[in-house]
Amino acid sequence: MASATPRVKACIFDMDGLLLDTETIYTEVTNKLIEPYNKTFALETKVKMMGRDVRTATDILLADLEIPLTFDEYNDQANALKKVFFRRAELMPGVARLIRHLAKNSIPIAVATSSGKDMFLVKTERHRELFGLFGTNITCGDDPAVKHPKPAPDIFLTAMDRLDCGLEPSDCLVFEDASNGVEAAKRANMNCVWVHDARFMLDPLAPPTKHDATERIATLESFDPAKYGLPPFSN
């Protein structure tokens, strides 16, 4: 297991709920779609869905709420709304500062998101300049190289290999907001910072090491790069 304060050489970022505040939009879309069925979108169901690939998350929703739709029927309706609503997605606190800092200091960075490529482009439309700092180091959930979704480690290992820096898993620091993403990072034998949004926390008293995360913080504003052997912030 990685030490509590490892020295890392590269950073890999989840996107939904970590870089972009999309989870509130997911909730808005879901509530619109389930309204005709007089269902309530409970936090317990949302937490189970967070960080999952589209099919798994949708299957969880339809089963938990007993919605009489197939995956394709629900997904077609959801995608139509998502393509409108996700264009307004805002950056999460501390994201711009950290990404620009790592890029300025030539630290290899990558995105590893369960979102499909088409939806990735919609979500990042307003932030193309910032996401451009990742270059081609973007791995999406529908990438053919990703054989198994999170909590399998495939997407993080693929993202690491594409950085093409001769990295080992222990050289990488993953940033995740969802528990199944933390599990995926640990299965990849990578260090992981769990950035747990209090709005979607079932157990606010959960210990920082829950899910075997290296560290838990509330927002990326609290992240200290020097703790991991990365260049410190200049101010």
- Our answer to whether residue 14 is catalytic in this structure is yes
Longest dimension (CA), the chain: 54
Active-site choice (16, 154, 171, 177):
16
Mean pLDDT of all residues in 34-60:
91
- Our answer to whether residue 16 is catalytic in this structure is yes
SS3 content of the chain, % helix, strand, coil (to 5): 50, 10, 40
Q: What structural domains does the chain harbor?
A: 10-21+89-228 (3.40.50.1000), 23-88 (1.10.150.240)
CA-nearest of 171, 173, 180 to 224 is 173
Global pTM value: 0.89
Return the percentage of the chain with pLDDT > 90, whole number: 79
What is the per-residue pLDDT across 89-146, written as a single tens digit (0 to 9) for each?
999 999 999 999 999 999 999 999 999 999 999 999 999 999 999 999 999 999 999 9
If pLDDT is split at 50, 70 and 90, which confidence band does 50 have? confident
